[in-house]
Structure 1
Amino acid sequence: MSYFVYILLNNVVPLSLLIALGIVLQRAFHLDIKTLSKLNFYLFSPAIMFQMLYESELSFKVMGQVLLFFFVFFFALTAVVEIVIRLRGYKGGMRPAMRNSVLFYNSANYAIPLNQLVFVNDPFTLSIQIIVMMMQSLIPNTYGVYSVNAHKQKLKDTMKTILSMPVIYVIPVALIMRGFHIPVPHPAYISIDYIAKGFIATALTTLGVQLGTMKWELKLRDVAISNVLRLCVGPLLGFFIVWTLGFHGDMAKALILSCAVPTSLSSVLLAVEFDNEPEFSSQAVFSSTVFSIFTVTLVIYLIQFVG
């Protein structure tokens, strides 16, 4: 029960309040969702990614193990989603929207505090989650951009869009500067810190603004499918892959927990930025965040039995 209450009070309620604020602001002032989306993609996301990677303590051995797990998990989950897409007969923009709602999960502002709660501020498990977060930032800005544009844009134009995403440059720069102990000028780092601290509030407010613009034509069946794949199938696959790869202890538990979190805000930002099923994406993020109270609590209980 303590996990349930903690997740509710420290993750879901604060997130929901910021989302609600976005809805209120949209209804009162009719904010420009495209401007907010661009701020997230080109300013706040790169800043928080740089800061977290630059300040992290990552070993190459742990990074290799986590990346092995991540890619096996990502491709296995992709295969499951593709089967569902074909069985449901999704067309056009709904295909990438469903993929993104399952494959992109909240590995930063939800998973990191959750990791630190479960593992009591363990730097080893935090480094695992930071690597997952790095990949969950890189893939939406590359594959995610490609997937939402592939059905309506030439490959050349899509590649130009991908190459304009600052996160794909920020990640290697942060890792190189951290690896070679290259200092960031103090005034610049103060600015980066200010921007990074605004990421969560801006991203959640953007989701609220998007929800405030919707007609709320509920896509209950599609949203339910997305939620089940993200919150139930995801951690089940995580359990299976950890067992298959022979991972044990806190490494295994942290990897499984990383698979159990709700749909990422990046799926909404992609949907809004490229006008690709924003209503479905917003509903998937919001509902998966709410239902994760129960599913994540169950996963936390079950990982106690992982050797």
Structure 2
Amino acid sequence: MTIFLTILRDNVLPISILIAIGILLQRSFKLDIRTLSKLNFYLFSPAIMFKLLYGTAISMQLFGQVILFFVLFMALQYGLVEAVVRIRRYRPGMRSAMRNSVLFYNSANYGIPLNQLAFANNPYTLSVQVLIMMMQSLIPNTYGVYNVNAHKANWREIRRVILSMPVIYVIPLALAMRYFEVPLPDSAGTAVEYLSNAFIGTALITLGVQLGNMSWAIRRTMLADVSTAVLLRLVAGPLLAWLTVALMGMEGLMASALIVSSAVPTSLSSVLLAVEFDNEPAFASQSVFVSTVLSTVTVAVVIALLGA
């Protein structure tokens, strides 16, 4: 119990405080969530993605192992959630929303600070989390956009939206500049530093604003659906990650970092996609809210079991 409370206090509480500040700000001043989301989506998130990929030493071996883990893990998650949506016979829009709520998890504004706290700013585990964040930034901006639009829009429209996403350009640019050792001008480096430093705090507060902007009461009609999404994300997620690292024969810090990265709640991107494309926004918001609240316990349990 002492270990559990220590992890809860040192690893989870700092994140929860910033989320709570966002909730209080929204309840007091009614902030514009779309403006905050655009700042995170088009400015702060690409900036920290560029900074971490350009400035973090990532070996090809580490890159290959993490990407292979991610592919296998996502395949297992997708297979599980697809079985659930078919068994429950969801309509197309709800199928998309359920997939997004399970497959897209908060690897950035929750995962990065959690990794730094859980592993005491270890640069190796941060490299692992950066690669997971890279993939979790790329997938919602490509597959996620397709997923919520496939049943109601043509491919040309979907492709146009996908090509407008900044992350799909920032990732290859940062990787190419690092690989070819292209120096970043001091002025540009300073600007990127300022923007990336604003990411974690702003993103967590934005998440709090979104949570404070919606009803906290779960509708009875969607209670079973929200419970299913949260169970698949917070319980099945870490279990499937543990199965994946076991199948790959991974041990030590890498295995622990990958399992912790999979234990975080549903990503805000699922809500942004739901709102932007009018695809089950109430369900998406409730899933983020409930998974974020319950993750304060489940994440601490996962870290305690790993002894991170």
Task: Tell me the equivalent position of 1:181.
Answer: 181
Mapped pair 1:124 → 2:130: no
Native 8 Å contact 1:211 1:279 kept in 2: no
Native 8 Å contact 2:46 2:167 kept in 1: yes
Mapped pair 1:157 → 2:160: no
- Of 173-182 and 22-31, deviating more is 22-31
Structure-to-structure mapping, 1:94-133, within 5 angstroms: 94-133=94-133
- Give SS of 1:139's match: helix
Task: Tell me the equivalent position of 1:245.
Answer: 248
Structure 1 residues 29 and 114, CA gap change in structure 2 (3 angstroms): closer
- Give SS of 1:296's match: helix
Native 8 Å contact 2:109 2:203 kept in 1: no
Structure-to-structure mapping, 1:51-200, within 5 angstroms: 51-200=51-200
> Could you state the TM-score of these two structures normalised by the residue count of structure 2?
0.89
Structure 1, unmatched stretches of 5+, are none
Whole-angstrom distance in 1 between the partners of 2:239 and 2:43: 35
Aligned residues: 305
Q: CA deviation at 1:167?
A: 0.3
Whole-angstrom distance in 1 between the partners of 2:73 and 2:115: 19
- Of 227-236 and 124-133, deviating more is 124-133
Structure-to-structure mapping, 1:194-273, within 5 angstroms: 194-216=194-216, 218=218, 219-273=222-276
* Counterpart amino acid of residue 72 in structure 2: V
Task: Tell me the equivalent position of 1:36.
Answer: 36
Whole-angstrom distance in 1 between the partners of 2:126 and 2:212: 35
How high is the sequence identity, in percent, across the aligned residues?
61
- Of 274-283 and 126-135, deviating more is 274-283
Whole-angstrom distance in 2 between the partners of 1:217 and 1:162: 34
- Of 273-282 and 11-20, deviating more is 11-20
Whole-angstrom distance in 2 between the partners of 1:302 and 1:191: 40
Q: Which runs of 4+ in 1 moved over 6 A?
A: none
1:144-166: CA deviations, max 9, x gaps?
11111212211110111000001
Native 8 Å contact 1:268 1:278 kept in 2: yes
> Could you state the TM-score of these two structures normalised by the residue count of structure 1?
0.89
Structure 1 residues 221 and 43, CA gap change in structure 2 (3 angstroms): same
Q: CA deviation at 1:264?
A: 1.6
* Counterpart amino acid of residue 152 in structure 1: K
Whole-angstrom distance in 1 between the partners of 2:64 and 2:91: 37
Structure 2, unmatched stretches of 5+, are none
Q: CA deviation at 1:231?
A: 0.9
Native 8 Å contact 1:101 1:267 kept in 2: yes
* Counterpart amino acid of residue 197 in structure 1: N
Structure 1 residues 112 and 151, CA gap change in structure 2 (3 angstroms): same
Q: CA deviation at 1:5?
A: 3.7
Whole-angstrom distance in 1 between the partners of 2:249 and 2:71: 16
Native 8 Å contact 1:4 1:293 kept in 2: no
Structure 1 residues 271 and 15, CA gap change in structure 2 (3 angstroms): farther
- Give SS of 2:109's match: coil
Cα root mean square deviation, aligned:
2.4
Structure 1 residues 249 and 25, CA gap change in structure 2 (3 angstroms): closer
